[in-house]
Copies of this chain bind each other. A is one copy, B any other.
């Protein structure tokens, strides 16, 4: 199977486990709804790319790790879309969960997906217990507080924002998890892979800021201009459009240069370059 097929199969394997025989039907349906259709699946793709570059010697655990990461990402989207945060009606071109189901089911689906991320790794731990534990530690650190996406989102409730901690946690955390889990699942030290994840996360944040400022809602599949409306810090307002595009290219060069030595280094660099091309918005004016 190619990478996208492996990722989809692993995500749906985890979801089916959570749906079980005794699950309340609407929650079970909401779990499926929350993960389909996928977006770019960029985090699990990056995780799997790193794992392949490092040998991918236990593919079943790699699949589980990539899926766990995407389950956490989907959970964060479900919760972030809720009325008390972005109050978004549309996500990936269809109604958000609290619109399609209800607020209680959105809250519960998000909670269930978080649990599923950790549980799925523990359920496959028989394949390599120490690696599974390292995966759970990395995923926990980059999901919760103080280093994870929860902390990142928490900065939006502060009057004085530590911008570097905010960006690193809000967008960077799951990219760091992606590269580190990709290395750990193949039995490699996770530490040297933090920089690659952090830089890709930073690039993604700048690209997102550009998209939010430049694209219309139809192209985005969600409401545009939300950063200005919600007064969130934004690279475009700091650097202007051209400055932000230059910054994006700079970060991506640094990302590729930071890839640690590994058997599949060249192929991984190519993959990052390919993903990077998709990050620069098409509708840059001028």
Contacts and interface: CB of A to CB of B under 8 A. Distances in A.
A107 B132 contact: no
A232 interface: no
B85 A157 contact: no
A23 interface: yes
Interface in A136-171: 136-137, 140-141, 143-148, 150-151, 153-158, 162, 165, 169
Contact of A146 (B21, B132, B156): B21
Main secondary structure of the interface of A (DSSP, over half): helix
Interface stretch (A58-66, A112-120, A184-192): A112-120
Contacts of A132: 133
A157 B24 contact: yes
Contact of A20 (B104, B111, B146): B146
Interface string A27-39: 1100100000000
A236 interface: no
Most chain B Cβ neighbours within 10 Å, of A23, A31, A136, A144: A144
A13 to B, nearest CB: 15
Contacts of A125: 133, 137
Given A24-B154, A85-B107, A111-B110, A122 B145 contact: no
A200 interface: no
A222 interface: no
A18 interface: yes
Contact of A122 (B82, B136, B157): B136
A257 interface: no
18 contacts: A18-B144, A20-B147, A21-B146, A24-B154, A24-B157, A24-B165, A27-B150, A27-B154, A27-B157, A79-B111, A110-B111, A111-B150, A115-B140, A119-B140, A125-B133, A129-B129, A129-B130, A132-B133
Interface of A: 18-28, 31, 75, 79, 82, 84-85, 101-105, 107-108, 110-112, 114-116, 118-119, 122-123, 125, 129-130, 132-133, 136-137, 140-141, 143-148, 150-151, 153-158, 162, 165, 169
